[in-house]
Amino acid sequence: MSTAIQHRMDAGPIAMSSERSPDPVPSPAPAPARASKLVPHRLTSWGRVKHVSTARITPAFSDQLPRIIDARAADRLLAIGLGRSYGDSGLNSAGAVLDMTALDRIVAFDPSTGVIRAEAGLSLSELLRIVVPHGWFLPTTPGTRFVTLGGAVANDVHGKNHHAAGTFGASVRRLGLHRSDIGALELSPAKNTELYRATVAGLGLTGLIAWVELQLVRVPGSYVGAQNVAFGGYAEFAAIARDSATTFEHTVAWIDCTTGLDGKSTRGLFSRGNWLPDGLYKAHDDRTSASLPIELPGFAINALTLRAFNKLYYTAGAMKRAPTRVHYAPFFYPLDAVRNWNRAYGSAGFYQYQCVVPPAAADTAIPEMLGEIARSGQGSCLAVLKTFGEKPSPGMLSFPFEGVTLALDFPNRKARTHLLFERLDAIVSEAKGRLYPAKDGRMPASLFRAGYPELARFTTLVDPCFQSDFWRRMTQ
């Protein structure tokens, strides 16, 4: 017998059935009070380096989407969600944006199979709040839960379990896409396959993702058995990563990039964990998050404070050698504990530099980059090393491939920072690696073209009426 639970007072019940592919329920008739509006809006990248003024359209119901696209196609559209793209892939200064966050309804959820379909504006945070009590979790999750389903697909996000599960797109069963030249389509790995592969990691350029059907994974509880392992150099990190890949589902390493001028002796903390089979299913509570209420002065993060923070963080982490029981929220989403943490970098903002290099080049390329960073004096509080597994990503422009990824946040020091990035770009290029568009705000177009071999095919599948500042920067 089917049951129903309430998602939102204005969204209706979640349809639950025993069918493997739940059929969508009709959207309610549009209400005048929530009709779509076109209003001027100032958009800022999550890194707070890019600021643009653009027109914003706010659809309230999914049946408005075809009409909006038809009426506004000449404006060069881009769908946006919760604004966690670090650079300009979520900006559209020469057109209009479709703010999808009001389209956040669950269409159907079957708690016996873990198949869920929802509108693209639903946040991962809200999805988890609903499914965790039923014993389900996301197949893979990025480092923040404040991402929409559409954004997770459009960037084919990855997480700590990439070596075991691959990217987010690997678990997308079906999705709905509205194109300006074709209309509404259903995409899947077996249906409209080329457009499916272009839309997963397609940066919102192949049309408007309206809904997503996802296969969740069963978990034995909502807590993780986590462990920190201190290491004293890149070679030691690589050995721990190899040993952990077969015994731990979730792995990632934080590094102190103010140490190791030679790049080889950079110290860090390797974090690994597995779900605990305690049968306790407790969803997170977003109301417990703190907030950074003000913008810190630009000089707050400097070489002195970076060294002090990193030393303290490493020392505290190295002391926690025994496995600990941790709820999934702080384990997967430590930065979500502080809303607006990006204000810590001051008015100039920050860049994130994230690259991946293949295994054959990693032992040389990663230490070279770490050495350049340490010698530049432009270290980072948030520096991450992670190994990607061999499971292929489904998208033409998916970022991960088998190898090692390095991600760091850098305060924007303008020319000084860009000179460092040029040196890092040269190492990535020599290693035949690539950068992550979702994190990028200044990648050279030549590096983008070299790093994504299916780019030419992808370009033919871009919707003629969808654009972004990133795409214009890469193609003009």
pLDDT tens per residue across span 156-166: 999 999 999 99
Strands in 403-411's sheet, in edge-to-edge order, are 324-327, 223-231, 268-275, 250-255, 383-388, 403-411, 350-357, 434-435
pLDDT at residue 33, as a whole number: 36
Q: What is the pLDDT of residue 177?
A: 98
> What is the pLDDT, as a whole number, of residue 325?
97
Measured distance CA(37)–CA(158) in Å, rounded: 34
- pTM assigned to the model: 0.91
What is the per-residue pLDDT for 126? 98
Domains, the chain, with CATH or none: 30-219 (3.30.465.10), 223-451 (3.40.462.10)
Phi, psi of 117 (to 5 degrees): -125, 135
Contact 168, 160 (CB under 8 A): no
Parallel, antiparallel or unpaired: strands 51-57 and 96-99: parallel
Give the pLDDT score at 38.
60
pLDDT at 39: 66
pLDDT digits (tens, 9 = 90+) for 41-90: 899 999 999 999 999 999 999 999 999 999 988 889 999 999 999 999 99
Q: What is the pLDDT of residue 28?
A: 37
The residue among 80, 142, 188 whose CA lies nearest residue 128 is 142
pLDDT of residue 141: 98
Residue with tokens 């702080």, as numbered in its chain: 330
In sequence order, the β-bridge partners of residue 357 are 404
Low-confidence ranges of the chain (pLDDT < 70): 1-39
Distance CA 157, CA 201 (A): 8
Residue 119 near residue 108 (C-beta atoms within 8 A): no
DSSP class of 392:
P
Nearest of 182, 176, 205 to residue 79 by alpha carbon: 205
For position 243, what pLDDT does the model report?
A: 96
Q: Give pLDDT, residue 289.
A: 84
Return the beta strands (E) in 81-191 as ranges: 96-99, 106-110, 115-119, 136-137, 172-179, 183-187
